[in-house]
Each structure stands twice: as C-alpha cells, then as structure tokens.
Structure 1
Amino acid sequence: MIRHIVMWTLKEEAGGRDKAANAAEMQARLLALRGKIPLAVELEVAIGDAIFASVPPTDIVLATTFRTKEDLQAYAVHPLHMEVVEFIKSVVAERRVVDFEV
C-alpha cells in the first residue's frame, strides 16, 4: 500500500474568495472524488490551523491510500482528478507531497 499525503498553503485570496472559502471548496471537490476513482482505497481531507500547528504553514491536507505505485500514478492523471487539480492550482500558494509504503 502507498500512502500519498499532500499539504497545501492557500493564497489569502483567489477567485474572489478568501482562504477559508477556498479551503472549504477544495475540501468539497476532493471529497467528491471518493468512490468515483476506485484506485484510491482511502481519501481523507482535513482543514485547520490547529490540526497542523506542527507543520506550518499548512491550510489543508489530503491523505490517500493506493494499493500500488501504479494506481497512484493512474490516479494522478485521471480526468476527474485533473478537474480538481485545475481548481487547486488557482488557489494554492505552496504544495508539499510525501509518498511512503505502509
């Protein structure tokens, strides 16, 4: 199993919305992928400074689990995922990724 963790810092404002509104929209779009891309065994999203106090600056985190590295690679280019990525790119200031075997 491969655990894929993505941590983002959001722009203060983007697309006419503040950081909190964009974080909520980002979370909703990511969670909407659950069950639509079966390659992702688990998909969780969390928002909040208190949660990530030890990993500043992080506004939102995605944690997904895949059976294989190939499943992760296929998910990365899946059309539904790419639609969400376009929105994310428009609101994100910084992105960090960690992948590891579990």
Structure 2
Amino acid sequence: MISHVVLMRFIEPADALPARDLLQGMHGRVAEIASLTVDVDLAVAEQGPDLPLPQFHLCLITTHTSREELRGYQDHPVHLEAAAWLRPRLAGRAVVDSAV
C-alpha cells in the first residue's frame, strides 16, 4: 500500500472548510483511492481565539494499492478538478508518499 499525505496552508484559512468538503467528495468517484481521510486543523474548525495558528490548515491522507494507482489518482479528472480549485487558494503545501 502507498500512503499519500498532503498538508495544505491556505491564503484564507476559512477556505479549508470548503476544501475539506471538495476533497471528501472524491471518495467513491475515483476508483484508484483505497481510502481517504481529510480534515481541518482544530484551530480552523473551532476558530478558538486561544488556539495557536496552525502551520497547515488541512490534512489529506489517501491510500492506494500501488504506485500505479497513485499515479492514476493524480491524473484522474476529479482530482485535477479539485487541484484546479485548490491551487489559487494555497499559500503552501507539503506532500509525503510512503509505503505502508
């Protein structure tokens, strides 16, 4: 199995919430995804004044049965559509792919 982890920092932290919904919508629409977990940092979700500002606002974790499945996911039209929505809203991101 391959684990694909993406941490995202948004220009506007509030964009993390619609991004979460958009990314959750990929599950079941992209056959190459074995599992998908996505959520926002607690400071964004709770908008608490005493919570420190997070370095990243959202974490996406997908798993894939092989590297080929990961590549298929990355080239899938649903993923490309989500990436097109995300790209102009991101201040930064970090990606780690690992064998699990």
TM normalised by structure 2 equals 0.86
Aligned to 1:8: 8
Distance 2:66 2:77 in 1: 19
- Note the C-alpha offset of 1:90: 1.5
Distance 1:50 1:41 in 2: 29
Aligned to 1:63: 61
Q: Does 1:46 align with 2:44?
A: no
Runs of 5+ unmatched residues, structure 1: 13-18
**Larger strand percent:** 1
Instruction: List structure 1 segments (4+ residues) > 4 angstroms apart after TM superposition.
Output: none
- Note the C-alpha offset of 1:28: 0.6
Letter aligned with residue 8 of structure 1: M
Instruction: Provide the aligned length of Structure 1 versus Structure 2.
Output: 92
Where 1:73 maps in the other structure, the secondary structure is helix
Aligned-pair identity in percent equals: 32
- Note the C-alpha offset of 1:46: 1.2
TM normalised by structure 1 equals 0.84
Where 1:72 maps in the other structure, the secondary structure is helix
Q: Does 1:84 align with 2:86?
A: no
Runs of 5+ unmatched residues, structure 2: 45-50
